[in-house]
Structure 1
Amino acid sequence: MKMRHVRAIAVFGIAVVALTGARGSHGGSCGGGSSSSGSHSSGSNHSDDDGTTGGSSGGSVSGGTGSSNKASRDVTIDECKFDPATKNLVARITIKNDGLMDYDYDVAIKFTGDPGGTVAPATSKATAIAVTAGASQSTELTSPYTGSGDGSEYTKCEVTRVSRS
């Protein structure tokens, strides 16, 4: 093999190592860090005596290990119903803080009907829900019912926004 071939192979090998980062099994990153993205859905649907159901979805959350990414995983919807006594749509949620720090949570809920229905979504927000480290906190979010029926057209609750500080 000629010297220029050896030199060309060495240059090519160095270029490959430089471009891939040569960081062993950890891969490489041009920005010096890593990120992840995905979507998260928590909770489950429950049927109540009045026929309404509850469920939640945290939506898409991108960007690694930020506080808002983890906050959406902490919220579950326990119940979603129409309360005829108060004429309110009610979502009962539980926030479980598995972290090492105390947090205040802000949660937004959307009450909706069947897809393609004529029901206008109703919303509710709760702010500064204090949850200590390793504990759970349950709370209710309500929205006034503005319809003229029995509230049965609202069949689903969905978590639309969660943040913690």
Structure 2
Amino acid sequence: MKMRHVRAIAVFGIAVVALTGARGSNGGSCDNNSSSSSSSSSNGSDNSTTSGGTSGGSVPGGSSSADKAARDVVIDECTYDPATKNLVARITVKNDDSTDYDYNVTMKFTGAGSDVLPMTAIETGIAVASGASAKAELTTPYAGTGDGSEYTKCEVTRASRF
């Protein structure tokens, strides 16, 4: 196959993903301005709150395995744990498929302000049987010196199942 054919196929594939990926869910973040249903919870160390809600992953819509895995993840709570000095995301993974899966989830913690460095947490091998759900906790060490209140948002940046 000639190089120009390979390039044409790659461009076509990107166009298809861009066009079909733009439909569907409301996005993949969980913050105080989210349009998804949410429940608010205190982080235990001060009066700031973060929201939890359904996460659609970083690519809305679509029908790939990653899109389906991201839609299976619900963010229950994003908080700072003063006892462990970790940023914590508590999630529920619900498997509505007829096959048992292991899920891998990557979570990004962010906040308002230019001095807030994005933090990432990864949890792998979350086993979820067909028709069941499982809870998991993603944690990453807090790099700041305060109470973690500057981190107001968490979002699923990647999810996969196998």
Query: For the Cα contact (< 8 Å) 2:66–2:158, is it kept in 1?
Result: no
Residue 54 of structure 1: aligned partner: 51
Residue 81 of structure 1: aligned partner: 79
Which secondary structure state, in structure 1, belongs to the residue aligned with residue 108 of structure 2? strand
Gaps of 5+ in 2: 1-15, 29-35
Query: For the Cα contact (< 8 Å) 1:39–1:58, is it kept in 2?
Result: no
Query: For the Cα contact (< 8 Å) 1:52–1:154, is it kept in 2?
Result: no
Query: For the Cα contact (< 8 Å) 1:53–1:80, is it kept in 2?
Result: yes
Residue 92 of structure 1: aligned partner: 90
Equivalences, count: 130
- 1:60 Cα deviation from its structure 2 partner: 1.9
- 1:57 Cα deviation from its structure 2 partner: 4.5
Letter in 1 for 2:111: G
- 1:45 Cα deviation from its structure 2 partner: 4.0
TM-score, length of structure 1 as denominator length: 0.71
Which secondary structure state, in structure 2, belongs to the residue aligned with residue 86 of structure 1? coil
Equivalent positions of 1:1-165 (< 5 A) are 36-37=20-21, 38=23, 40=25, 41=27, 44-50=37-43, 51-55=48-52, 56-61=55-60, 64-114=62-112, 116-165=113-162
Letter in 2 for 1:138: K
Query: For the Cα contact (< 8 Å) 2:42–2:50, is it kept in 1?
Result: no
C-alpha RMSD of the superposition: 2.2
Runs of 4+ deviating beyond 6 Å: none
Query: For the Cα contact (< 8 Å) 1:45–1:53, is it kept in 2?
Result: no
Residues 1:158 and 1:80: Cα distance change in structure 2 (over 3 Å)? same
TM-score, length of structure 2 as denominator length: 0.72
Quick one: distance in 2 between partners of 1:87 and 1:164? 30
- 1:67 Cα deviation from its structure 2 partner: 1.5
- The C-alpha deviation readout for 1:32-70, integer Å capped at 9, x for no partner, is xx98433533664433223231344512257x5322221
